[in-house]
C-alpha cells in the first residue's frame, strides 16, 4: 500500500455549505492505495463528498515513507493520518473568505433585464410595439421600434454549457488533448484551429437559434408596419451565458445574422458580468456597436452608458433600487463524463488585502 499525494486546484460546488462557487482553493490530499489510477479516482470521489469541483491536478506523486519520516513535521503527521484514517485533507482558499455563503454580497452591480432594455429604448426615443403593430399579439412580433429600426430582444440568462448534449460534444473535442489527471480544463484557446472552430460552432447553437427566431419576429412586424420604412435588428442581452465572452458573442451574432437571415441588418449586443474574490469586485459591461453608424444607435449607446453610470453611482451611495436584483458573480461551469471532470474556470482577482507575512 502506497501513499499518494495530490495537489488539486478546485472550486466549491453549488452545494458547498460554506463557500461560494467562485472561491477558488488549493487542496492537498494524501490517499493510501495500491494503484495510482484508483487513487486518482478516489481523490475525485473525496472532492465530490466534500462539495468541491476540480479544475486541475497540479501535483501527483508517491510519497516514500523513509524520506517523509526523515523530513518529519507536518508532512510526516499528514502521512500517518492518511495511513490511520485513509485520507489526509487540507484546503487553502486563494483569498481570505471575507464573504461567506448566505451573506449579502455588496457591489456586484445592478442586474440588467428586460425592464432595463425597456427604459433604454424609451429614453432613446423609441417605444414598445403597439397592439396594432404586433397584430393584436396573436402573431409573431418584435419588441421595439426605434427610429427606422424594428428590434427584437433576445436574452441569455442561463449558462449554455449546462446542456448535456452540448457537454458531450465539448468533452469529445477536449478529449483529443492531454490532461493532467482525470480532469480537463475547458480552455478553447488551447485548441488547434480546426477544433477551435468546432468548439465555437457547438457553443454558438443558442445564439444561432435566437437570431433565427428574432428574424422571423422582425420580418413579421416589418411586414405590418411598412416594408419600405423600416429595417430589422436584434438586441442580445447576455447576463448568463458567460462562457462566451462579449467580443465572441458579437462576432457569432453578426455571422449568424448575415448567414441565416435576410431581415436582421443590425446586431446590438449588451453584456454584463461581475468578477469577485469576496473583497475586491470588478463589474463589467459591454455594448456593441462601439461606433454606431446611425443616429438612433448612437443615442442608444450613449443612453446605455449614462444609465449604467447612474446606477453604479446609486449603488455606491446606497440609493439603488435593488428590487430587480443584483448581478451574480461569475462562477465556474463544470460537468462529469465517463469518470472525468471538465471545468471552465473564472478569472481570478488578485486580492488588495495585504497578505500576512510568514
Percent residues over pLDDT 70 in the chain: 98
Mean pLDDT of 338-350: 91
Give residue 81's pLDDT: 97
Give residue 160's pLDDT: 96
Whether 109 is in a domain gets the answer no
Q: Are residues 8 and 72 in the same domain?
A: yes
- Residue 136 phi/psi, 5-degree rounding, is 60, 20
Give residue 358's pLDDT: 44
Mean pLDDT of 105-133: 94
Nearest to 328 by CA among 308, 346, 351, 301: 346
Q: Are residues 230 and 83 in the same domain?
A: no
Mean pLDDT of 154-176: 96
Could you give the CA distance from residue 33 to residue 30 in angstroms, rounded to a whole number?
10
Q: Is 50 exceeded by the pLDDT of residue 174? A: yes
User: Helices 246-260 & 205-225, crossing angle to 10 degrees?
Assistant: 50
Q: Are residues 213 and 97 in the same domain?
A: no
Condensed to tens digits (0 to 9), the pLDDT of residues 140-158 reads 899 999 999 999 999 999 9
Q: Are residues 92 and 191 in the same domain?
A: no
Whether 168 is in a domain gets the answer yes
Give residue 354's pLDDT: 58
Query: Which residues are registered as beta bridge partners of 340?
Result: 337
Q: Are residues 88 and 199 in the same domain?
A: no
Residue 56, domain extent: 2-102
Q: How many CA atoms lie within 13 A of 292 on its CB side?
A: 18
Grid look-up 437571415 returns: 261
Whether 276 is in a domain gets the answer yes
SS (H, E, C) 148-167: CEEEEEEEECCCHHHCHHHH
Helix (H, G, I), strand (E, B) or coil at 285: strand
Give the range among 37-41, 104-108, 124-128, 304-308 with minimum mean pLDDT: 104-108
Four-CA torsion 166, 172, 173, 176, nearest 10 degrees: 170
Greater confidence, 299 or 140? 299
Q: Are residues 63 and 173 in the same domain?
A: no
- Residue 327 phi/psi, 5-degree rounding, is -65, 140
Kindly report the number of other CB atoms within 10 A of residue 188's CB atom: 20
Give residue 152's pLDDT: 97
Helix (H, G, I), strand (E, B) or coil at 221: helix
Q: Are residues 98 and 202 in the same domain?
A: no
Domain boundary among the residues 45, 67, 102 is at 102
Q: Is 70 exceeded by the pLDDT of residue 14? A: yes
All three cell numbers of 245, joined, read 465572452
Q: Are residues 64 and 130 in the same domain?
A: no
Provide CB contacts within 8 A for 270, sequence distance 6+. 112, 117, 235, 236, 237, 238, 285, 286, 287, 288, 304
Give the range among 87-91, 164-168, 224-228 with minimum mean pLDDT: 224-228
Q: Are residues 134 and 276 in the same domain?
A: yes
Condensed to tens digits (0 to 9), the pLDDT of residues 231-267 reads 999 999 999 999 999 999 999 999 999 999 999 999 9
Q: Are residues 83 and 139 in the same domain?
A: no
pLDDT band at residue 48 under the 50/70/90 scheme: very high
Q: Is 60 exceeded by the pLDDT of residue 206? A: yes
Q: What is the mean pLDDT of the chain?
A: 93
Could you give the CA distance from residue 183 to residue 339 in angstroms, rounded to a whole number?
9
Greater confidence, 297 or 179? 297
Q: Is 70 exceeded by the pLDDT of residue 89? A: yes
Give the range among 68-72, 130-134, 351-355 with minimum mean pLDDT: 351-355
Four-CA torsion 15, 17, 21, 25, nearest 10 degrees: -120
Whether 309 is in a domain gets the answer yes
Domain boundary among the residues 48, 76, 102 is at 102
Could you give the CA distance from residue 184 to residue 35 in angstroms, rounded to a whole number?
21
The answer to whether the CB of 36 falls within 8 A of the CB of 159 is no
pLDDT band at residue 355 under the 50/70/90 scheme: low
Condensed to tens digits (0 to 9), the pLDDT of residues 262-289 reads 999 999 999 999 999 888 899 999 999 9
Distance from first CA to last CA of the chain, Å, rounded?
Answer: 35
Pure H helices in the chain: 36-49, 65-71, 73-85, 114-123, 164-174, 193-203, 205-225, 246-260, 295-316
Whether 289 is in a domain gets the answer yes
DSSP state of 104: P
Nearest to 308 by CA among 347, 349, 271: 271
Give residue 204's pLDDT: 97
Q: Are residues 84 and 128 in the same domain?
A: no
Q: Is 60 exceeded by the pLDDT of residue 66? A: yes
Give residue 211's pLDDT: 98
Provide CB contacts within 8 A for 138, sequence distance 6+. none
Whether 138 is in a domain gets the answer yes
Domain boundary among the residues 73, 102, 131 is at 102
Q: Are residues 171 and 53 in the same domain?
A: no
Give residue 140's pLDDT: 86
* Helices vs. strands in the chain: H and E counts, helices first: 9, 13
Please tell me the total count of domains within the chain. 2
Whether 337 is in a domain gets the answer no
Whether 327 is in a domain gets the answer no
Amino acid at each position: 500500500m502506497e501513499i499518494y499525494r495530490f495537489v488539486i486546484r478546485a472550486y466549491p460546488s453549488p452545494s458547498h455549505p460554506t463557500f461560494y462557487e467562485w472561491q477558488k482553493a488549493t487542496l492537498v490530499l494524501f490517499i493510501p492505495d495500491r494503484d495510482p489510477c484508483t487513487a486518482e479516482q478516489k481523490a475525485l470521489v473525496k472532492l465530490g463528498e466534500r462539495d468541491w469541483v476540480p479544475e486541475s491536478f497540479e501535483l501527483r506523486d508517491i510519497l516514500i515513507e523513509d524520506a517523509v519520516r526523515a523530513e518529519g513535521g507536518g508532512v510526516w503527521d499528514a502521512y500517518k493520518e492518511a495511513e490511520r484514517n485513509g485520507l489526509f485533507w487540507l484546503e487553502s482558499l486563494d483569498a481570505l473568505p471575507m464573504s461567506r455563503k448566505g451573506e449579502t454580497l455588496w457591489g456586484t452591480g445592478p442586474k440588467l433585464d428586460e425592464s432595463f432594455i425597456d427604459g433604454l429604448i424609451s429614453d432613446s426615443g423609441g417605444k414598445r410595439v403597439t397592439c396594432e403593430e404586433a397584430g393584436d399579439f396573436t402573431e409573431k412580433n418584435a419588441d421595439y421600434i426605434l427610429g427606422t429600426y424594428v428590434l427584437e430582444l433576445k436574452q441569455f440568462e442561463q449558462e449554455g454549457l449546462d446542456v448535456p448534449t452540448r457537454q458531450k460534444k465539448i468533452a469529445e473535442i477536449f478529449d483529443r488533448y492531454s490532461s493532467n489527471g482525470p480532469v480537463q480544463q475547458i480552455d478553447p484557446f488551447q485548441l488547434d484551429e480546426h477544433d477551435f472552430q468546432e468548439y465555437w460552432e457547438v457553443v454558438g447553437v443558442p445564439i444561432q437559434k435566437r437570431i433565427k427566431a428574432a428574424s422571423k419576429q422582425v420580418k413579421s412586424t416589418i411586414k405590418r408596419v411598412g416594408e419600405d420604412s423600416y429595417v430589422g435588428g436584434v438586441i442580445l442581452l447576455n447576463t448568463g451565458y458567460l462562457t462566451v465572452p462579449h467580443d465572441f458573442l458579437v462576432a457569432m451574432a453578426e455571422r449568424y445574422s448575415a448567414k441565416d437571415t435576410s431581415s436582421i441588418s443590425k446586431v446590438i449586443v449588451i453584456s454584463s458580468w461581475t468578477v469577485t474574490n469576496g473583497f475586491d469586485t470588478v463589474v463589467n459591461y459591454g455594448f456593441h456597436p462601439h461606433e454606431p453608424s446611425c443616429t438612433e444607435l448612437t443615442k442608444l449607446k450613449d443612453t446605455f452608458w449614462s444609465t449604467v453610470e447612474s446606477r453604479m453611482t446609486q449603488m455606491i451611495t446606497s440609493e439603488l433600487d435593488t428590487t430587480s436584483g443584483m448581478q451574480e458573480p461569475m462562477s465556474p461551469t463544470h460537468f462529469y463524463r465517463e469518470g472525468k471532470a471538465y471545468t471552465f474556470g473564472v478569472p481570478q482577482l488578485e486580492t488588495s488585502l495585504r497578505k500576512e507575512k510568514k
